[in-house]
A = this chain, B = another copy of it.
Amino acid sequence: MDLDLAQVRAFVLAAEELHFGQAAEKLSISQQALSKRIARLESRLGMQLFDRGGQGVRLTEAGHRFLEPAGQALAAADLAVAAVLDVHRPLRIDVWGHLYAPMRTVAQAAARTSELRLELGHGRDLPSAAAALLHADIDAAFGRVHPPLPAGLTHRLVRLEPVDAILSADHPLASEPALRPEQLRDSVLWTPGALDRLDFLHRFAERFGVRDHAEGANLGLDHFLADLAADPRRFSLLPADVPLPQTPEIRLVPLVEPTPLYAWSLLWRGRGHPLMGALVNAFVAEAGRNRWLEYDPSRDWLPESSLPALANRFEDEGGRTVADSPRAD
């Protein structure tokens, strides 16, 4: 006869609380369900484990005898699960959009808890990060998520970062205290890579009527800044909190009416690594502390491609269960 460990778990919690209602709450089930679990366990063992009374329950002698070995059976089973799931393995995470320094956000979120063991992956773009997730080569990824996104992956918006215009110091608008995006329509959008493969910049150009663009290779931030400074008509976009070297050839000007927002998300597969829940929680907590998820449609602009991520965030905040949401351990 093999024990049903869900029943055993119910017994052990009820033995701790000596109150079925409270034990049920700890297990997030109803009192009646817990009562039934214990009754079925008693029936299977042929033993009364609790004396029921008006003010809670008391353990019987058989219940007392069962309690310690029952706890040990649960612990052994948990170890068995951990052994197969390799729960002590670090969570492997890849980030993309390196020019915009995604690791700032990951490091900030992970810094507050010592239980997260992260291992940084190779550095990929979104399509190859998604493929690596599906192949279980990595456990999570972080960056800006947009369609197309393969099935089987779950994403969670964790940060909406305001985006500034970054200009050559010789640009005619360089000394403005702030700019409206459409003021940039006659400038040349500088893109580190092909525009049609950079979703955010592409959507920005379309939305605000920027007709001209120039492309270069993405060889890192210094190269990017030097390419911008090389032509006084050039501008590009940069999330506001990206740290920059002090250089007289470059100006950073806030964008307003509307402020474009860069949407950072976590991405993972299925229920994820055992630490996935903890990682999501760490990001959510940091977002709360820093007001990362504030969004006002009358003030801000999000490209259409970021709206699924936004919808994802609102569903979760409404208290509904998100499919494939990892449980925090």
Is A77 an interface residue when CB atoms closer than 8 A count as contact? yes
Segment at the interface with B among A1-9, A93-101, A104-112, A175-183: A1-9
Question: 0/1 per residue, A256-300, Cβ < 8 Å to B?
Answer: 000000000000001100100000000000000000000000000
Segment at the interface with B among A82-90, A194-202, A233-241: A82-90
A149–B66 Cα distance when bound, in Å, is 33
Is A65 an interface residue when CB atoms closer than 8 A count as contact? yes
Is A46 an interface residue when CB atoms closer than 8 A count as contact? yes
Question: 0/1 per residue, A66-82, Cβ < 8 Å to B?
Answer: 10111011111101110
Q: Which residue of B lies closest to A68 (CB)?
A: B83
Are A62 and B45 closer than 8 Å at their CB atoms?
A: no
Q: Shortest CB–CB separation between residue A11 and chain B, in angstroms?
A: 10
A66–B274 Cα distance when bound, in Å, is 12
Q: Which residue of B lies closest to A72 (CB)?
A: B76
Are A66 and B84 closer than 8 Å at their CB atoms?
A: yes
Q: Shortest CB–CB separation between residue A230 and chain B, in angstroms?
A: 51
A186–B61 Cα distance when bound, in Å, is 60
Are A45 and B76 closer than 8 Å at their CB atoms?
A: no
A3–B329 Cα distance when bound, in Å, is 16
Is A322 an interface residue when CB atoms closer than 8 A count as contact? no
Are B45 and A2 closer than 8 Å at their CB atoms?
A: no
Q: Which residue of B lies closest to A69 (CB)?
A: B80
Are B274 and A81 closer than 8 Å at their CB atoms?
A: no
Is A47 an interface residue when CB atoms closer than 8 A count as contact? yes
Question: 0/1 per residue, A312-329, Cβ < 8 Å to B?
Answer: 000000000000000001
Are A2 and B2 closer than 8 Å at their CB atoms?
A: no
Which residues of A1-39 are within 8 A (CB) of B? Answer: 1-6, 8-9
Which residues of B sit under 8 angstroms from A87, Cβ to Cβ? 62, 65
Question: 0/1 per residue, A214-247, Cβ < 8 Å to B?
Answer: 0000000000000000000000000000000000
A179–B74 Cα distance when bound, in Å, is 66
A86–B329 Cα distance when bound, in Å, is 36
Are B66 and A73 closer than 8 Å at their CB atoms?
A: no
Q: Shortest CB–CB separation between residue A227 and chain B, in angstroms?
A: 46
Could you give 25 example pairs across A and B, Cβ below 8 Å? A2-B5, A2-B6, A2-B77, A3-B77, A4-B4, A4-B5, A45-B81, A45-B84, A46-B270, A47-B84, A49-B84, A62-B84, A65-B86, A65-B274, A65-B329, A66-B80, A66-B83, A66-B84, A69-B80, A73-B73, A73-B76, A73-B79, A73-B80, A76-B77, A77-B77
A residues in contact (CB < 8 Å) with B: 1-6, 8-9, 45-47, 49, 61-62, 65-66, 68-70, 72-77, 79-81, 83-87, 270-271, 274, 329
